[in-house]
Amino acid sequence: MSDATSDLPRWRGGWLNRLVARPGFQSWASRFPLTRGQARKDGAALFDLVQGFVQSQVLMALVELDIFRRLRAGPLTAERLGQATDVPVDRMKVLLQAAAALRLLKRDRRGRYRLARKGAALMGVPGLEAMIRHHKAFYADLADPVGLLRGPERTQLSEFWPYVFGARGEIDQGVAETYSDLMAQSQRLVAEDTLRLVSLKGVQRLLDVGGGTGAFLEAAGRTAPELNLMLFDLPQVVPQAQARFDDAGLGSRATVHAGSFRDDPLPEGADAISLIRVLYDHSDETVRALLASVYRALPEGGRLIISEPMGGGAAPDAAGDVYFAFYTLAMQTGKARSAEEISDLCREAGFVGLRSPRPQRNYVTRVVMAQKPSSIT
């Protein structure tokens, strides 16, 4: 019922909210014919919020026990799955019933469980299972949400992503490979949505700053066969990028540059620069410095492409303002900025022609595009 009050004058909305907040009113509204439908809908939505963490942990258990892949070949009983995963049968039944209630699995008349469409789709999303497993660190940081909001000295996510604090030579190669692999897997969806919204027509050379192992550039190179590719990232990451380009048959079109955008100038020669899931990892100060570097590296008329999850600003967004906002809090740096906030930072750096097309899937990414102005003659 709260949604219905959003357009009311403030005094009327406040009065109605106070009425709705009374326990006695909720009891009455759940019985009264004209209000019981909305009251029950609100109640169900609130209960979904209350049990949301349990649902996420059910999903975590399904992924950790590899249930979806075990069911790929066909339905199995709780007994078979319990034996295969060393989980007591009665407890496996609890998990499978929960998965069926969440429409990830289906239970047949013989009591066997098989994949539902949503469960099958989960396996088809690149990097999703790896991201779910990675959420152990995020969930640990969210165990005390008030403590997280007050700013703890240490979080598990900040230790998983050391590069956001400017670490360079001290990053362990194994750690770099772990987070680079996770980023590369999930980057495929981001690249797909970004390249649907961004035209590379007329671009001769694209520089991807903070491009990791080159997943976005590989996708861009396949989309634009004449495009030359440049990647700039930390020294621990670039060998994997070169190997990716070579394996994809793009080695002759790709140049890999090692460095840190915090400390080193960006390579010149590109007429477009992309920042794919970069800005939301960093503070405003770091972002301002990076955008200034991008501006200097681009020629007149050069293009800037920014793609990452974003907050909704004046129209709060469940993906950007809930999940990604708290994720960046747990990382202890950066934030989920709105497209308007990012555009303002770009204008401050000197860019013009800011555009932000409607996203394909806002929970995957949003895009902001800009241009370095040409000289007035």
CB 260 within 8 A of CB 267: no
H-helix or E-strand containing 292? helix 284-297
Work out the number of other CB atoms within 10 angstroms of the CB of residue 64: 13
* Phi, psi of 375, rounded to the nearest 5 degrees: -65, 140
Residue 198 has pLDDT above 90, yes or no: yes
360/346: higher pLDDT: 346
Question: Angle at which helices 52-64 and 89-101 pack, to 10 degrees?
Answer: 120
* Phi, psi of 271, rounded to the nearest 5 degrees: -100, 0
Average pLDDT of every residue of the chain = 87
CB 345 within 8 A of CB 286: no
Residue 336 has pLDDT above 80, yes or no: yes
Section 146-159 average pLDDT: 89
For residue range 208-265, list pLDDT tens digits in order: 999 988 999 999 999 999 999 999 998 888 888 999 999 999 999 999 999 999 999 9
Longest alpha-carbon distance in the chain: 79
C-alpha dist (Å) from residue 358 to 78, 191, 337, 369, 374: 44, 16, 16, 12, 27
How many whole angstroms separate alpha carbon 214 and alpha carbon 240?
8
For residue range 83-138, list pLDDT tens digits in order: 999 999 999 999 999 999 999 999 999 999 999 999 999 988 877 888 898 888 89
DSSP 85-127: HT--HHHHHHHHHHHHHTTSEEE-TTS-EEE-HHHHHHHHSTT
Report the 3 state secondary structure along 221-236: HHHCCCCEEEEEECCC
Q: pTM here?
A: 0.83
Domains of the chain: 2-49 (no CATH), 52-124 (1.10.10.10), 146-371 (3.40.50.150)
Q: How many CA atoms lie within 13 A of 80 on its CB side?
A: 11
Percent of the chain scored above 90 by pLDDT? 66
Using pLDDT thresholds of 50, 70 and 90, give the confidence band for residue 176.
Answer: very low
